[in-house]
Amino acid sequence: MKKKEKSLGKLKAVDFFCGAGGITYGFSLAGIKVLAGIDIDAECKETYELNNPHSEFIHVDINKLKAPAFRKRIGIEKNDESLVFIGCSPCQYWTRINTQKAKSTETKNLLKEFRRFVDYFKPGFIVIENVPGLSKRKKESKLEDFLVYLEENEYAYTHGIINANDYGVPQKRKRFILIASRVLKSINLPEPQKNPSLVVKNFIGVWNGFPKIEAGHKDDSSFQHTAAMLSEKNILRLNKTSPDGGNRWSWKDDPYLQINAYKGKDHIFRDVYGRMYWNKPAPTITTKFIRTSNGRFSHPEEHRGLSLREGAVLQTFPKNYVFRGSNIDSIAKQIGNAVPPELSRRIGETLVKEFKDAYI
């Protein structure tokens, strides 16, 4: 017996700030039809369209996008209870360490722009993913206002800070997740599942199909096992860095290799120039994961940083997901900014289940 006297069919979604398509891909695996992805970064267009051929990429600045014109373009209607709006906006401004604060300020209030579309369309479901800083500074980030808006418009919602490692991702990747619905009286986040196998050795390495390569290796195939160049000094540093979790302490007493900023300050930024551990989850894959100087992004034993494909696999993109960009840094940015597809799939499956339960 149905709880409501109507059937709404499958869920469909619009992916605001879609980037390379991590959440679009994951939602599609969950059985949700993603109608369109919207992003200001034209570099993402080819990547998105190659891997998500049934979803339209719309290259536009959301600040300049008008809701009525958008409605006409993709054919969505107001008050559609089967419609999901996904708002995973760029998070640079709200990260714990932000060295480009001025540059990232333009992304500060994207939640406010997203709310403009929510207010116009009143979708059945809303999903937001961002860094924990969005929640910890909720007044400045406009999250506090957004939560009040949800309550005033009778959306049930839940939110929390999760670690993607509890959701099928081999990373220590903490994220703020919010799921809201005006269809349901209550809604839940996906259930966390501890899995000790979600560690680096089970995703990269020669036994997982990653041939040994050197720094600067360029892979023109679709596998994209490409690694960034390293200076001669940084290669010497890696040669002296212990395998499987070693860090810059291995060469702190070498006057040629030691970095002036860290002399006598070995306790700060301990992960910089560090190697990953084989038997631990990777650190958060950021937009700079190909650079050994930006964190613990050195290969556990090879004398190089992570390759593009290694970063993508640690983000749970499948090995046949093809990335396109003007250079290696552009592609790394797409990979690091993405919502991991496996986390996305589990969020999507939660929506599908709860939506079906409400109507069956």
- The residue extents of the domains of the chain are 12-193+338-359
Q: Which of 342, 50, 299 is nearest to 170 (CA)?
A: 342
| pLDDT, position 91 | 56
CATH 3.40.50.150, applies to 12-193+338-359: yes
Which ranges of 75-165 would DSSP assign to H, the alpha helix? 101-104, 110-121, 133-136, 143-152
pTM across the whole model: 0.92
What are the residues facing 176 on neighbouring strands? Answer: 130, 161
Taking phi first (over 0 means left), then psi (-120 to 50 degrees means alpha), and beta for anything else, what does residue 19 get? left
Catalytic positions are 91
CA 49/CA 44 separation, integer angstroms: 9
The number of helices, as runs of H, and strands, as runs of E, in the chain is: 11, 7
For 293-325, the pLDDT digits (tens) are: 999 999 999 999 999 999 999 999 999 999 999
| pLDDT, position 172 | 97
Q: Which of 352, 337, 351 is nearest to 126 (CA)?
A: 351
| pLDDT, position 215 | 98
| pLDDT, position 148 | 93
For 254-270, the pLDDT digits (tens) are: 999 998 888 877 777 77
Written as tens digits, the pLDDT of the chain (360 aa) is 344 444 456 999 999 999 999 999 999 999 999 999 999 999 999 999 999 999 999 999 999 999 999 999 999 999 999 999 999 887 555 354 444 555 444 555 788 899 999 999 999 999 999 988 876 655 565 788 999 999 999 999 999 999 999 999 999 999 999 999 999 999 999 999 999 999 999 999 999 999 999 999 999 999 999 999 999 999 999 999 999 999 999 999 999 999 888 887 777 777 889 999 999 999 999 999 999 999 999 999 999 999 999 999 999 999 999 999 999 999 999 999 999 999 999 999 999 999 988 876
